[in-house]
Amino acid sequence: MSGAATRALGMAKRLFRNKGALAGFAFIATVTLLAAFAGFLPFDPLAQNIVESLEGPSAAHWFGTDELGRDIMVRVVYGARTSLLTAAGAVAIAAAIGIPMGLVAGFFGGWRDAVLMRLVDVLLALPGILFAMALIAVIGRSQMAALVAVGVHGIPGFARITRAQVLSLRKRDFVTAVEALGASSTYSMFRTVLPNSWSPILVQVVVLSSVAILLEAALAFLGVGIPPPTPSWGEMLRTGKSYLYEAPYYAVLPGLVLTLTILSLDTIGRALSVVLEDRQMIGGDTKLERVP
């Protein structure tokens, strides 16, 4: 598979020629590293100090302190951990269910397609946040509930994108070609169709990561997400909103980190789709030499 490795490397090079994508990647990498190693730093996100409550940014507390005197920056770093873990789990759930659904629906068509796509329609019949809220209303408020709610919301995206890609590939001659060679459906599906489907799926992973982070924060902001005292960006915005007059930085700074995270993922996602589409275009999919 050195061929695949070379291709991935070439793609990464082209991706990071886009300065926005490079900056976005750097930001995400920093946040991820901080979140991963937060436990090794000598700061406690739960340490209260009522005397120092609602103090503005200073050398000791870069982002200031909250109503219980907790360091907001430390809580933002721990909030990143909540956010990223929820997003990763949600994307994993969505991909694990959505991709096989789309693959089966697109490859076999017929009744399987009809049944699976009706299921997707049902999931799509409610705006994402409402669906997540309804789910949480049933299973109660917990980190796992938020993760599942956001993950289920992502299933239709993966299913549809995979299905669309599989459908367009099925009509292509090189897929018909392996059938003409005598390949089984399994071979055609897993060795020919699926390996050619990764580009849009990969883009969807990045896109859904940003959607998941946003949705998790929104749920917390509404007070139905991960319950306190676990630090979470949405929860901080929710509380911070009550102190807009006394401590505007309280809501603004965590929101800024959240916004930058989403913007970074969005930029990477768009740059990635450009690079991947470009690669396919070089593959010369549809261009005929017939027209000289």
Positions 3 through 42 that interact with other proteins (CB under 8 A) = 3, 7
How many CB atoms sit inside 10 A of residue 50's CB?
A: 9
Q: Does residue 283 interact with other proteins by CB under 8 A?
A: yes
Cβ proximity to other proteins, 164 vs 263, nearer residue: 263
90 binds other proteins (CB under 8 A): no
**Which residues are within 8 A (CB) of 135 and not within 5 positions of it... i.e. 6 or more apart?**
145, 148, 149, 152
| Residues in region 139-168 near other proteins by CB under 8 A | 139-140
Closer residue to other proteins in complex, CB, 36/134: 134
Site for other proteins in 40-79 (CB under 8 A): none
Q: Which residue from 134, 229, 277, 278 is in contact with other proteins, where contact means CB under 8 A?
A: 134
Here the tokens at position 73 are 């920056």
Among 57, 67, 113, 270, the residue binding other proteins under the rule CB under 8 A is 270
Show contacts with other proteins in window 114-133 (CB under 8 A): 118-119, 121-122, 125-127, 129-130, 133
Give residue 11's region: left, alpha or beta (phi > 0; psi -120 to 50).
alpha
Give me the count of residues in the chain.
Answer: 292
Cα–Cα dist 44/13, whole Å:
39
Tell me the closest approach of the beta carbon of residue 185 to other proteins, in angstroms: 9
Residue 59 vs 181, nearer CB to other proteins: 181
CB of 41 to other proteins, least distance (A): 26
Q: Contact at 8 Å (CB) between 70 and 47? A: yes
CA distance 265 to 272: 10
Minimum separation from the CB atom of position 291 to other proteins (A):
6
The reply on whether position 266 binds other proteins by CB under 8 A is yes
Contact 269, 210 (CB under 8 A): yes
| CB closer to other proteins, 93 vs 133 | 133
Angstrom distance (rounded) from CA 82 to CA 92: 15
Question: Does residue 229 sit in helix, strand or coil?
Answer: coil
223 scored as a contact of other proteins (CB under 8 A): yes
CB of 2 or CB of 40, closer to other proteins: 2
**For residue 57, which phi and psi values (nearest 5 degrees)?**
-55, 140
Taking each helix axis as running N to C, give the angle between helix 143-170 and helix 198-222, from 0 to 180 degrees, rounded to the nearest 10.
150
If one counts every other C-beta atom within 10 angstroms of the C-beta of residue 200, the result is 19
275 is a site residue for other proteins (CB under 8 A): no
Closest distance to other proteins from the beta carbon of 260 (Å): 9
Q: Considering beta carbons, is residue 46 or 140 the nearer one to other proteins?
A: 140
Residues numbered 181-220 forming contacts with other proteins, rule: CB under 8 A: 181-184, 187, 192, 195-196, 210, 214, 217-218
Q: Per-residue string for binding with other proteins, 226-245, x by CB under 8 A?
A: --------x--x--xx--xx
| Burial (0-12, 13-18, 19+ Cβ within 10 Å), 288 | exposed
